[in-house]
Chains A and B, each alone.
Chain A
Amino acid sequence: MSEMDIHKLTGAYAMDALDELERARFEQHLATCEDCRAEVAELRETAALLSETVAVPPPAALRDSVLAGISQIRPLAPEVTASPSRHADRPAARGRGWMPFLVAAALALIVGVGALVTQPWAPSDDVQRLTAAEQVLQAPDAQSVSVDLGEAGNATLTRSKSQDRAVITTEDMASAPSGKDYELWFIDGDTFVSAGLMPDEPDQTVVLDGSAGAAAAVGITVEPDGGSTQPTSDPIAVFDLTEAT
């Protein structure tokens, strides 16, 4: 998508009408586009006015459960910024953005733990993980299938049956939306088995967590931070391994 076009997504973004990948990409754009941030704020305000026309008093019991609920929750610590930063005026900077290094490091750790299944934890884990990936990528029986994610980059899934492992390689992939993670799944018919979370990097090579030999397909879904045990949304990408070459 050209830079000209992306500005036109303010309306759809303000009304939550972008799919997860578009949303992720647009949030990336918002971080650097003051005009779009201002326009989104105004359009959200405008959209909220539409609710005037559908107002309905809720059942009285709802008030009680809300008030009972808040009494058990402490409001979050405020965002403390030593100096005005460009994150400070961006709502999406809350929670997980694409910038905070520590968050990215934490996610890398999650995947690192996933890789523990076959790799002992060691300071050289990165190297070993790469080696594990290379073993799959260079296996004589390695088969690959690529998916073009459009504006959100592209990804290639490679599986080696002899290694019983699969590797995903992404290029220029948009970050998951704030508060969400990409989760990988081995798919066999209606059965989804989690293959771990993807780190939040545009270009990455990750060994999937678990046995890949029998999977008919691999999918990526957008899940709440930390992942899910079963997918809660439709896959944004499916790699059909029966068509891998």
Chain B
Amino acid sequence: MDHVRPVPDGAPEGAPSGGNPAQLADLLRQAALGDEAAFAAFYDATSARAYGLALRVVRNPAHAEEVTQEAYLDAWRSSTRYDAGRGSAVGWLLTIVHRKAVDRIRSVEAATSRDETWNRETAPTDHDQTSEAAHASLDAARVRSAVATLTDVQRQAVELTYFGGYTHTEVATLLDVPLGTAKTRIRDGLIRLRDLMGVAS
């Protein structure tokens, strides 16, 4: 664990924004008791990030909507299993969204071949294109500036993995580095972001 740095003092709250983390966890707890209005409020606070993430990964708006809907239905269904002690409610939701988005592109790919090129994944302008409609939030700016401190390879590895939905083996091929290097870059990159943004368990 030689890559772990101490979390800086006074680091901003690491939980994702889009609502007060404690409030979102509460809404999910109420949803678990069958409170649909609470779930609607949870949706309102998180849907831009859930849909934006799905859209970024699957690219196709109709598919992104399906993925997002499935993820919310899953979140409702398993709201009873959410444990605030294990992480933020929005982090939990986005884990579901990401998994579904990745499953979607990989199963589509099993039938057809991907027509996207990895260049589009890594082009620096890509973020800006995607986020034209994005919420201009302080949090987004903070995340971007943290991402900007990564080395090029770390940043590419993290972005190809999270937004591109590629496996680490595929990332190694795309970046033309050994698998072990890709693995390390992915983890080091995330760990650096974690420390910069003060995410602690």
Contact = CB atoms under 8 A, between A and B. Distances in A.
A105 interface: no
A54 B87 contact: no
Given A10-B187, A18-B167, A70 B193 contact: no
Interface stretch (A55-63, A116-124, A130-138): A55-63
Given A12-B183, A17-B186, A73-B76, A66 B43 contact: yes
B52 A19 contact: no
Interface residues of B, number: 86
Interface of B: 1, 14-18, 31-32, 34, 36, 39-40, 43-44, 47-53, 55-56, 65, 68-69, 72-73, 76-81, 83, 86-88, 90-91, 94-95, 98-99, 102, 106-107, 110, 127, 130-131, 133-135, 137, 139-140, 142-144, 147, 158, 161-163, 165-169, 171, 180, 183-184, 186-191, 193-194, 197, 199-201
B48 to A, nearest CB: 4
A59 B95 CA distance: 21
B85 to A, nearest CB: 8
State the main secondary structure of chain B at its contact with A: helix
B74 to A, nearest CB: 9
A38 interface: yes
Given A62-B65, A75-B79, A53 B36 contact: no
Contacts of A232: 107, 110
Given A11-B183, A94-B78, A56 B51 contact: yes
State the main secondary structure of chain A at its contact with B: helix
Given A66-B69, A231-B110, A51 B161 contact: no
Given A49-B193, A63-B47, A78-B32, A38 B139 contact: no
B81 A59 contact: no
Interface string A1-31: 0000100111110111111000000000000
Contact of B73 (A53, A55, A73): A73
